[in-house]
Chain A
Amino acid sequence: MAGPSSTPQLDQLPPEMLDFTLLKTAGALAPRLGRFALPGRKPILTPGFLSNTSRGVVPHISQDNFRRNPAFNGVYVALEDFVEKFPQKTPPIFEYDVPETLRRFIALPKDSPIILGARRSPPIPSPVANTNTEVGLLTSVGFRSISSEYYAAAVRKLQPDIVVGLADIPFGQESVGLKRKDKMSDRTETWTRDIIAKRNTLDSEDPKFSIFAPILPIERDLQSWYLDHLVDDMLDKIQGIAIYDAYIMEDLPDELHPFPRLSFHNPSSPHDLLRQINLGIDLFTIPFINTATDSGIALNFTFPSPQKVFDASSTRQSLGIDMWHASLATDVTPLSENCPCDACTKHHKAYIQHLLSAKEMLGWVLIQMHNHAVLTSFFTTIRASISAGTFEEDIKAFEAYYEPQLPEKTGQGPRLRGYQFKSESHAEKGKKNPKAFRKLGEEEVRALQEEAARRKEKKDVVDDEAMVGLVGMDGVDGNVAVNALPGEGVDGLEMADDTPEKI
């Protein structure tokens, strides 16, 4: 099993390790094609992407749908989603006594690669500052910190295919002082050595995880000690690198070029992805897929763009369709023409628009499937374009054809959870989740009646428009106050206490 072709030391690695083959490269700062293969897992062709998970699941995609759908393969998982009980209690997952604990716990198929990192992608800034030995996390019950030793032990127990080394990055901090940057580099080096040391303690029959060393989002000379040591001491110990700022790639030591590059530089748009690919990034987690899904936006773009428009004055096409839009209510066409996903081949815009406006969870399920399919074909055609040598040109056409950013969110997303936003104490910024239903007060009802009386015309049919108001008037769940009655509440995922009768 060969490692990167120019680093023969990797030949001695045990067979569990990652095999990354560069198929086409034009030197530094250029797009490249590769094949990323782990024994027993489906290979990932690069440039490519991993599905971002939340609490072990691609948001809205239950594990059976994940298996059913070819757009899903590798996943990125964050340890912070599993350790909220630490340190008061052993996090439950560590008590699961099976091989490949993480994979079994999150019910991921056998052949899907898992990359584990400490933080979600993107991480929510933690007010718990990193220290020489600890990294601040955000869990569903609050901020925590874990030590480098704890992280290494967790990785050993969970057995991901690949682990991203701990990086000392003060997320959310606008400007970072010189001294702090020095510390970032020192700590990251120590922590990278820790995880390597941990792997060295594994028994020979233990499955070995691959290690991706973080490259810090700071200038090269401020992390040159770390990078030099990486090259001198650790080159045969790491299997890839994690990039937090795609624009420092030009400073990357040559020795690191053969390694696969996973980007945590959060891309804001497809254009941003193209720019990063153009700098030589191989693998992505793409947070905007899920942001778009939660906003009810069905991505709708192809690469190369359908037409090569270079006329800057013509109107640019939108990168996605806001499925909340009422004009789609009778549109029986698929989300995107020729899209092979289930949402497009089995359903239509009218249904998906209905699901969103009725706040049915299936709306997000279908859009999420679709959005992953759109990105899957985006990457397929990007690889074809790089292979054909037309990438630069195709990017230009893409930029000319599409708007630079995804459409703004207009509709309401699913309920936000504590681990999805930063809570700010003392800051009364209003509710993250609007109140689902409210009752009209007697006065409001009276006012409505009076108003109706003024309007002489009398309707005697039930029209849809008027009935819409019913939902606002009272919880649609009202009818199930008595549990066992036909008609189900509309709220997607209620939090209130159900009081099941003892059966």
Chain B
Amino acid sequence: MAPVHIPSALSFELLGKCSVTKARAATLHLPHGTVPLPIFMPVATQASLKGLTPEQLEETGCKLCLNNTYHLGLKPGQATLDAVGGAHKFQSWPHNILTDSGGFQMVSLLKLAKITEEGVRFLSPHDGSPMLLTPEHSIALQNSIGSDIIMQLDDVLVTTSPDLARMKEAMERSVRWLDRCIQAHKYPERQNLFCIIQGGLDLELRRQCTAEMVARDTPGIAIGGLSGGEAKDAYCKVVDTCTGLLPEKKPRYVMGVGYPEDLVVSVALGADMFDCVWPTRTARFGNAITAHGVLNLRNAMYSTDFGPIEEGCTCSCCRSVEDGGLGITRAYIYHVTAKETAGAHLLTMHNVQYQLNLMKSIREAILEDRYPKFLKEFFGKLYDAKSQYPEWAVTALKGVGVDLME
């Protein structure tokens, strides 16, 4: 199928580039407002961010969050979304939403799923009857959801799969499915379809895929199939290779990435957008993300720690009462975590705000062209000694001109 030009409902404003690494700072103008890049997007799987009201999510500074097409397709279902007028109205979220295609969940949740050229074929566990999710159906669902950024249905394979032939097939099929998604997309003028580069850990496959995808000229580009347990070195090589081939004036989204050190390294490798359930999920287990690492506040050592979750954090939990905050202590989180839902809400707010603040300071560092220094400070805070720095990060950053060890 010949590439077709599709209109774009976004504009990408490149504001600055790091003079050493591949990091970029930009502003992305989307149908529901402007978002700063690089960005971390919290995941509101089922149209709700784990107990937070839209106002609370807004207060963390979030202007773009994720919903999962697969889950919204289940509940509330397409008919309800159509009746209510889309996911923004459904969850009273005035800012931007990104949805995935639903294919990933099909494959990861459904062990009986089989991928054919038509789509993802699976047996309904409800009644055992054969079912099919096609690129057309995924786009139709995302059109009903009305998300500002929608993702193509792709053929997802575990990156670590040793079957190169299958990997090549999946990559090529993903390109064909993109063409079907573009065809099926009803509202290109108000929803931005992103392609997803596949190809596993094989750099040659990734290169071919990137060339094919770029030729389709979608408003944004995602690098998919990663974060599936592959070695971090291999992950970095794939991101580095893909971003090297991507046009400068388009947003680049690496799917499923959210650990702070993955974020800072991926930005250095030229990626702009990230999402991950980890910050919100881990909050529910009592884990607080801080610049000095993750603290498990369920540990009894915190039961009498009356300091804030993180000293100097500006989230409403951590700010002192005198400073207009709530003055929540680690000891209080210890007291309520895993016992009262509100304990989860508090830590979720903190963790989301940590991630967004991290991205904000990354952006400032890039704009002031001091990102290499930022990276050194970041790792300096996270680890007690340089000998503890993860090798993959040191290697990846050396590849883009930053020597953490010097």
A448 surroundings in chain B (CB, below 8 A): 123, 125, 127-128
Is there contact, CB below 8 Å, between A92 and B285?
A: no
Is there contact, CB below 8 Å, between B127 and A466?
A: yes
Is there contact, CB below 8 Å, between B84 and A361?
A: no
Q: Identify which of A451, A469, A494, A502 gathers the most chain B CB atoms within 10 Å of its CB.
A: A469
A427 at the interface (CB under 8 A from B): no
B227 surroundings in chain A (CB, below 8 A): 482, 484-485
Contact with B282, one of A85, A348, A498 (Cβ below 8 angstroms): A498
Contact with A347, one of B46, B92, B344 (Cβ below 8 angstroms): B92
Is there contact, CB below 8 Å, between A470 and B55?
A: no
CB distance from A366 to the nearest CB of B (A): 7
Is there contact, CB below 8 Å, between A452 and B130?
A: yes
Is there contact, CB below 8 Å, between A479 and B341?
A: no
Is there contact, CB below 8 Å, between B90 and A451?
A: no
CA–CA, A410 and B360, complex, Å: 45
Is there contact, CB below 8 Å, between A484 and B84?
A: no
A471 at the interface (CB under 8 A from B): yes
B22 at the interface (CB under 8 A from A): no
Is there contact, CB below 8 Å, between A487 and B43?
A: yes
Is there contact, CB below 8 Å, between A461 and B137?
A: yes
A449 at the interface (CB under 8 A from B): yes
Is there contact, CB below 8 Å, between B334 and A465?
A: no
B132 at the interface (CB under 8 A from A): yes
Mostly, the B contact residues are mixed
* CB within 8 Å of A: which B20-58 residues: 43, 45-56
Q: Mark A460-472, 1 if CB is under 8 A from B, else 0.
A: 1110111111111
A140 at the interface (CB under 8 A from B): yes
CA–CA, A479 and B43, complex, Å: 14
B296 at the interface (CB under 8 A from A): yes
Is there contact, CB below 8 Å, between B104 and A500?
A: no
Contact with B45, one of A55, A65, A487 (Cβ below 8 angstroms): A487
How many residues does chain B have at the interface if contact means C-beta atoms less than 8 Å apart? Answer: 102
B187 surroundings in chain A (CB, below 8 A): none
Is there contact, CB below 8 Å, between B327 and A486?
A: no
A93 surroundings in chain B (CB, below 8 A): 331, 335
Is there contact, CB below 8 Å, between A351 and B53?
A: no
Instruction: Contacts A351-B91, A479-B104, A487-B104 known; list 13 others, CB within 8 Å.
Output: A57-B342, A104-B327, A107-B326, A350-B90, A357-B75, A362-B51, A466-B127, A472-B125, A484-B227, A484-B277, A485-B277, A490-B45, A503-B293
List 9 contacting pairs A-B, 8 Å CB cutoff, sorted by A: A57-B336, A362-B52, A469-B125, A469-B126, A479-B108, A484-B277, A488-B45, A495-B338, A500-B294
B interface residue numbers (CB < 8 A to A):
43, 45-56, 59, 66, 68, 70-71, 73-80, 83-84, 90-92, 100, 104-105, 108-112, 123-133, 137, 227-229, 255-262, 275-278, 280-282, 284-285, 287, 289, 293-294, 296, 303-304, 306, 316-317, 321, 326-329, 331-332, 334-336, 338-346, 349, 382
